[in-house]
Structure formats: structure tokens, C-alpha cells
Amino acid sequence: MAVASRHVPGGGVSNWSAVRRLLSRGAQALGLLLLPGTVGRVTDPMSGFFLVRRDVVATADLDPVGYKILLEVLARGDVLRVVERPYVFLERKEGESKVSAGHYLGYLRHLMRLRIHPLRSRALMRYLLVTVVALVADAVTFLWIFDRQGWNLTRSAAIAGEAGILLTVALHDLWTFAGRAARSTLDRIRRLLGVQIALGTLLAGRLLVINVLVNWFDLGPLTAFCIALAAITPVSHLLGSRLTWRRITA
């Protein structure tokens, strides 16, 4: 598949308003959250300009919502490789734009339909399973360091969080996205740094929440850790790591 994208170097839009730009990026972020295995293969999931070989969709049971069918083809077609090329989206000189609130609602309906489609459940379950495994490793590491080794609260939570980050990188690289991610050492380093920045920032927020709960609300350290783990870490893993792997494709 070859896809024209506004969000790769050299691409862009002409005279879009701030609201329309925000809606476009919001649609992309929502797609990454609901369908990481599908939307994550492209930078511009709402692009209507793409080419595929006939055999990609020859046996696919396509049932798109609206006229944006890129997601449908990615989710249900036999797409082995995606290549993106930049293009600049220009405003119409004649007629009116098709973009409306209904257009974005249709996109949301399409996401939800594909989200529950059995063909995508395996990729999504792998991603969610890695997140759960990382959370368990995070919690076990914290309990061992804090409860058994007697280290202080902040240091224990920081080390546990870093263990979860490194495990996330390894499992996604070797299992979840093994067939899509670039394999060179440089790409692995870039991926690790990207995840470290994205999740490390939220890890700092988690440490702050833990200390606030313990020092201001007099909660026990283990209770505070579990609350922060449940409230912040799943979101950070889903968004941070997915946004990183999205940029490194085969």
C-alpha cells in the first residue's frame, strides 16, 4: 500500500483553522488508542489518497462507514507493507468542503466497528497483554525493593517504573510489532529513547502522585503506589509506546 500523508516530512495543509488541525490530530490520537495495530501503521489515518494492489482487497469483506476507507482496507485487507509519501492538502477553489461534524462522527463509528471486529482482536490483545505484563512487573519490582529490601518510597517506585518501561520496549519489539518494526541497532536505540522520554515523563508524574497521597492524604505507601499505578501507568503505556512505534515502520 502507498499512502499520501500530510504528517510526514514534506507534507502538510494549506489554510486550515486551528480547530480543524486540532480535530485532525485528535482523530489520529483516538485511532491510536482504540486501534493501535491498524492506525499505527500510518501517520494520516484519514487520508483519502492511497493505492493498493488488487489482491490486497480481492478477498476482503469490506464494509466501511462513510467515504474514508483507508482504515477499512488496513484492518481487513491483506496489507503486508505500507509506504507513505508526503503531500500538501490544498483548499478547494470551487465548491464546498465535505468536512463536517458528521464526518468525524462517522470516523468514530468506523473505529468502534473495527475495534470489535474479530480480525483485529489478536493484534489488540497482544498490545494490551504486554501492557498488563509490564504493570505486573512494575508492581512486583516495587514490592520487592520497597517491602523486602527496605529502600525508600520514591527510589523504589522510580526503579520499578523503569523496569516496566524496559520490559515494554523488549516485548513490543520482539513480539507485538516484531513484523513491523525496523531491526537495526540504531532503530532500536531510537525506539528505546522515544519510549523512555514518553513514559519517563509520566513516570515523574506518577512519583509526584505517590508522594502527594502519602504525605498529604496519609495513605499507606503500598496503597498510594497501587492507586498511581492504576490511574497513570496504563494510559502512559498505551499512548507513549504506541506513538513511538508508529514512527518506526518496516
Statement: residue 20 has pLDDT above 70: yes
Helix (H), strand (E), coil (C) string for 174-188: HHHCCCCCCCCHHHH
* DSSP designation for 116: T
Same domain? For 237 and 127 the reply is yes
Statement: residue 134 has pLDDT above 80: yes
Query: 225 or 176, which is more confident?
Result: 225
Same domain? For 196 and 163 the reply is yes
Same domain? For 31 and 106 the reply is yes
Domain span holding position 181: 120-246
The pLDDT of residue 119 is 43
Tens of pLDDT along 188-233? 777 777 777 777 777 888 899 999 999 999 888 889 888 988 877 6
Of 30-34, 94-98, 201-205, give the range with the top mean pLDDT. 201-205
Q: How distant, in Å, are the alpha carbons of 1, 93, 122, 181, 192 from that of 75?
A: 12, 34, 12, 18, 27
Same domain? For 206 and 166 the reply is yes
Domain boundary among 72, 98, 116: 116
Statement: residue 19 has pLDDT above 60: yes
The pLDDT of residue 1 is 93
Same domain? For 177 and 231 the reply is yes
Same domain? For 72 and 151 the reply is no
Same domain? For 107 and 134 the reply is no
Domain boundary among 72, 99, 116: 116
pTM of the full structure? 0.52
The pLDDT of residue 212 is 92
Query: 79 or 243, which is more confident?
Result: 79
The pLDDT of residue 86 is 93
Cα 198–250–118 angle (5° rounding)? 80
Same domain? For 13 and 53 the reply is yes
Same domain? For 236 and 154 the reply is yes
Which range is least confidently modeled, 21-30, 41-50, 158-167, 219-228? 21-30
How far is Cα 69 from Cα 24, in angstroms, rounded to an integer?
16
Domain boundary among 116, 134, 153: 116
Number of domains in the chain: 2
Same domain? For 99 and 201 the reply is no
- Confidence band, pLDDT 50/70/90 cuts, at residue 243: low
Same domain? For 236 and 148 the reply is yes
Same domain? For 147 and 72 the reply is no
Could you tell me which residues come within 8 angstroms of residue 224 by beta carbon, excluding any fewer than 6 positions away?
Answer: 209, 210, 213, 214
* Amino acid at the residue 61: D
How far is Cα 179 from Cα 35, in angstroms, rounded to an integer?
17
Statement: residue 143 has pLDDT above 60: yes
Q: Write down the mean pLDDT value for the chain.
A: 79
